[in-house]
Structure 1
Amino acid sequence: MARTDHYHDPDAPKATSIVIAASAFVVDDSERLLMIRRTDSGKYALPGGRHELGETMTQTVIRETEEETGVTIEVTGLIGIYSNPHHVIEFSDGEVRQEFSICFRGRAVGGEPRPSDETTEALWVQRDQVAGLDVHPSIRLRIEHGYSSATEPHYT
């Protein structure tokens, strides 16, 4: 299913749903960031996805990271809560979603990056190489917040 992100676009369609999601900011001992390349948009992103009934949010981010990257993580902190109503995602099936996403800090505890059904790539990226990747502004913001030394979580 294809997706189009509308970000501060006055011509964007109105959201028809809201979905709770989680993403992971995981940096290894070499200061490389775990990233994916999405199959639905081709953009690079942090691993993560939809919260499922019966899960805690930390279980969601652990499951989604492992599904999308092959890397098992443990959650070590909270980066922020993101709920920008000016960012809607339009899917080819007609759904237009406003996402409510919680970004967690994590630490890899096992596995090696590999692609999945949802990713064409899963890889460790040097910090200075992130700027050159095609990353949506909403994800870039989470990465910026992840690298910051703020002691309090970001929220919108």
Structure 2
Amino acid sequence: MARTDYYDDPNAPTPNTIVPGGSAVVVDDIGRVLLHRRRDSGLWALPGGVMAVGETIAEAVAREVIEETGVAVEITGLVGIYSDPRHVIAYSDGEVRQQFNICFRARPTGGDSHATSEASEVRWVHRDEFDTLDMHPTQRLRLTHALDETRSVPYVG
């Protein structure tokens, strides 16, 4: 199913759902961040996805990270809550979501990064490479917040 992300776009379709989801900024021992290129949009993104009934948001994020990237993780903290109504996500089946994402910090605990049915590429990326990747602005915002060592509280917005 194809996906189109809009941000502060007057031509964006009107949302018809809000779905609880989460993402993770996974940082390895040498400071690289785990990113994947989404098959549905072609954009680079943090791994994550939506909750299933019967799991916590942290469990959902850990499950989604391994499904999308092959890397098992431990959730270590909270980056922030992202619910900006200007970020609209339209799917080819007619669903149009308003963003609702809880972003966590995580560390890898096992597995091997590899392409999956949801990710055409998976890479460990150095911070100085972020600007070279085609990425939605909300993903860049989460990365900025997660990697800002002066930030003492989670983002709420």
Whether these two folds match at TM > 0.5 is yes
Identity of aligned residues (%): 53
Q: How does 1:9-88 map to 2 (within 5 A)?
A: 9-88=9-88
One-letter amino acid of the structure 1 residue matched with residue 96 of structure 2: V
Deviation at 1:90, TM superposition (A): 0.8
The CA RMSD over aligned residues, in Å, is 0.7
Take 1:85 and 1:7, find their aligned partners in 2: how far apart are those partners?
9
Structure 1: segments with no counterpart, 5+ residues: none
TM-score (norm 2): 0.97
> Aligned pairs, how many?
156
Take 2:3 and 2:42, find their aligned partners in 1: how far apart are those partners?
10
What residue in structure 2 maps to residue 118 of structure 1? 118
Structure 2: segments with no counterpart, 5+ residues: none
Q: Report runs of 4+ in structure 1 exceeding 2 Å deviation.
A: none
Deviation at 1:99, TM superposition (A): 2.1
* DSSP 3-state at the match of 2:138: helix
What residue in structure 1 maps to residue 3 of structure 2? 3
What residue in structure 2 maps to residue 92 of structure 1? 92
TM-score (norm 1): 0.98
**Does residue 1:155 correspond to 2:153, yes or no?**
no
Take 2:145 and 2:40, find their aligned partners in 1: how far apart are those partners?
25
